[in-house]
Amino acid sequence: MTKNATQAAGIGRRGFLKGSAGLAFAFALVEAGDVMGQGAPARLNAYISIGTDGTIRIAAPAPEMGQATNTALPLIIAEELDADWSKVVVETAAVAAAYDHPIFRAQFVVGSLTTRGYWMAIRTAGAQARRVLIDAAAQRWNVPAGELSTEPSAVVHKASNRRLGYGEIASFAQMPAQLPEIRPDMLKKPANFRLIGRDVRRWDVPAKSTGKAVYAIDVQVPGMLYATLARSPVMGSTPRGHNGAELTRRPGIVAVVPLAQGVAVVGDKIETVLAARADLKVDWSPAPGSNFDSDRGRKMYLAHVRDPAGQKVVVGRRTGDANAALQSAARVVSGEFTTDYVYHAQMEPLTCVASVTADGVEVWTGTQWPSRARDDAAKAAGVPPEKVKVNMMPMGGGFGRRAQLEYVVEAVEVSKAVGKPVKLMSTREDDVANAHCRPMTAHKIDVGLDAGGKIAGWRHRIAADLVVTQVYGQPRLDAQNGVDHIVMAHADVPLYDVASHLAEHVYEAPGVRSAAWRGIGAGPNAFAIESMIDELAARAGEDPVAYRMKLLKDRRARTAVEVAADMAGWPKASRGETGFGIAMSRLGVPQLGESIAVTIVEVALDRARGNIAVRNMWCAADVGLPIQPRNIRHQVEGSLVWGLSAALSERITFKNGAVQQQNLSDYEVLRVSRLPKTEINIIRSGEIPLPVGELGLGTVAPAISNAVRALTGKRLAALPFTPDRVRATLA
């Protein structure tokens, strides 16, 4: 059985190469046909080691936040190695360049690109190790390597009916000076897969079902103090004064430490620290966002997409000349949409344990970007990155929030200030107050139709706060000519027959915190686009599925629509008391391949109360090559639940630049009683695994809006669809 060395050892990580007799393989990680690489040199390190007892240790290089890549990646390696999965022990990798994501050149989990990114590199790694074992057996038996084959964890010579287990080979084999070359055509053919495409169980589920899984918030180290932090209510605001002197007179309070954007309370017990935090008073300086009011802001954003004159506008996507097409169009159909701020509400509040000593820095944290955590911790402590050890802990949810690392920097700063290890934990109230939101957006889409009703031009203007600057910094935005790819994700419509297209970003600068949020800009953008497609179908008097089939050029998209329609029983679906709506979304980047989801929802409406109940969701998900089909269904269902939660109730509002919500009691995420019956059909369309973790999220809100349109003739155009908004729309 598999286990996590990090968990088994409490908090330590067993050295990958140390102490085990047997073979360890080092591999170059180079992605064939790398389209996003920056030309960094290939690097070497160990992924696989085989003990003489046949135990195969495989490193999971990517941080785990629930998406199960810590099973999927070792499974892919084991597939090419032809390992007996029951002999595999998965170990959480160290934070080291050798485990970098081959495209991001960092240990970094975003964009559902983990499996896709590591795919060729780790297959090659597994195949190389298998080849070394075959060559060693061939030498021992004195037969040509070409006569040998493998079965799970054994090399076999059929002609002489001999076999050697991998553990036996590990006891005599020598690592070759040069690793064998593995060309892509030497990798396993999909028809021969023994593990990929099967429902191999996640190895981390038993520990996560018994309370034994250790998250950052669970870590305790000797001599550790506890800390929590009041962060500035408004981004960029700094503490001018605080009542720390008074608090430090309390028993158990060790220090009150002012930081750039917060004040930390430090003590020897968590309960003492939390009590002091409740009494901490800070005088904050004003900041650019101090006057921001999101209700006023929404109206202003809408005004900006109607008339962007005087605003900074950046072209995000362009095909042909949509403005000219709109001018010469026989008819123009327009739609306006808005989405509110939403918060991640990851269940584990942001936590980092840091220990700064004369020898260096050690941190234990759940982060989507461990490489940067190492570098930022080094900077905060004033030591070189080699002096920092980052222990990648499983995350109690990430969803984009843990791609930002202020909590790691702050933990290091506090540990350095007090000279002891510190567990810095946010309270839920502070986590909400410090929400880094998916930004509020306003959309205006203008569609120019020719005399025959074909789409000649499509212009989509999006007013939204910038996200790239807050996740990556201003230089990244400059290098992309001002295109915020997080806001503008999937603002284009390449699968539809649209002659010319323009998507523009109207910059907004409300001075509040923003982040990548599961599905990024593709969520709001799909809401606007897919509602618009439905509106076009309705105005043409056509069935939404038939209209889409007419408009879709892409074969995979057409198949997904057909599969979803078939699952839902469209068009026989009744249109009595419930309404049906369909929507599509994409995930990924074109150069690496995009997955496609089509969702149909069945919605019941309580018109008097304005309550929406989604009864059924049917989703067809084209994911290329499914690695673990069951896990893919769970991930897609999770995405649909997120989409539903955001569509129905999730909403952060700002007054005077500060978040108004306080906890999970007034930031409402979906609970089980609002869960629809959900059916997911995985479509296998190729031999490459495409992105999964955020797939389908963007389909839910437009599908609901479209269902309500079908039921009532009215368009829900503002997310979330709160009861007051639903009533106002139907009035």
Partner 1 sequence: MASLNVNGQVRQIDASPDTPLLWVLREHLKLTGTKYGCGVAACGACTVHLDGEPIRACITPLSQVEGKRVTTIEGLPGGENNRLVQAWIAEQAPQCGYCQSGQIMQAAGLLAKTPKPSREQIVAHMDGNICRCGSYAQIVAAVERAAGGR
Residue 378 or residue 433: which is nearer to partner 1 going by CB? 433
Question: C-beta of 643: minimal distance to partner 1 in Å?
Answer: 9
| Nearer CB in complex with partner 1: 26/675 | 675
Cα atoms found within 13 Å of the Cα of residue 610, Cβ hemisphere only: 15
Minimum distance, C-beta of residue 177 to partner 1, in the bound complex (Å): 43
Cβ distance to partner 1 smaller for residue 124 or 616: 616
| Number of residues in the chain | 731
State in angstroms the smallest separation of the CB of 365 from partner 1.
14
Instruction: From 294, 251, 310, 312, select the one nearest 276 (Cα to Cα).
Output: 251
Contact 62, 69 (CB under 8 A): yes
Q: How far is the CB of 196 from partner 1 (least distance, A)?
A: 17
- C-alpha R_g of the chain: 27
Q: Are 275 and 427 in contact (CB under 8 A)?
A: no
Footprint on this chain of partner 1 (rule: CB under 8 A): 65-68, 201-202, 204-215, 217-218, 220, 226, 269-271, 274, 345-349, 394-399, 425, 427-429, 630-631, 634-635, 637-642, 645, 663-665, 669-673, 675, 678
* Residue ranges in 109-257 assigned as alpha helix (H): 114-141, 166-172, 205-208, 244-247
Identify which of residues 64 and 484 has a Cβ nearer to partner 1 in the complex.
Answer: 64
Among 534, 701, 547, 542, which residue's Cα sits nearest to residue 617? 701
Whether residue 109 contacts residue 368, with contact meaning beta carbons closer than 8 Å, is answered with yes
Q: Minimum distance from CB of 713 to partner 1 (Å)? A: 31
Taking Cα atoms as reference points, which of 279, 277, 184 lies closest to residue 226?
277
Least distance between partner 1 and beta carbon 558 (Å): 28
CB of 210 to partner 1, least distance (A): 6
168 vs 429, beta carbon nearer partner 1: 429
Burial 327-359 (b: 16+ CB within 10 A, else e): eebeeebebbbbbbbbbbbbebbbbbbbbbeee
How many other CB atoms are there within 10 angstroms of residue 676's CB atom? 18
- What are the contacts of 261-265 at 24+ separation with CB within 8 A? 261/231, 261/232, 261/235, 261/236, 261/237, 261/406, 262/229, 262/230, 262/231, 262/232, 262/410, 263/229, 263/230, 263/239, 264/227, 264/228, 264/229, 264/410, 264/414, 264/424, 265/227, 265/228, 265/229, 265/230
Please say which residue, 49 or 631, places its beta carbon nearer to partner 1.
631
Is the CB of 74 or the CB of 297 nearer to partner 1? 74
CB of 214 to partner 1, least distance (A): 7
Distance (Å, whole) CA 590 – CA 592: 5
Token output for 438: 């998916």
- Of 103 and 403, the one with the shorter C-beta distance to partner 1 is 403
Q: Which is nearer to partner 1, 48 or 640 (by Cβ)? A: 640
Least distance in Å: CB of 213 to partner 1? Answer: 5
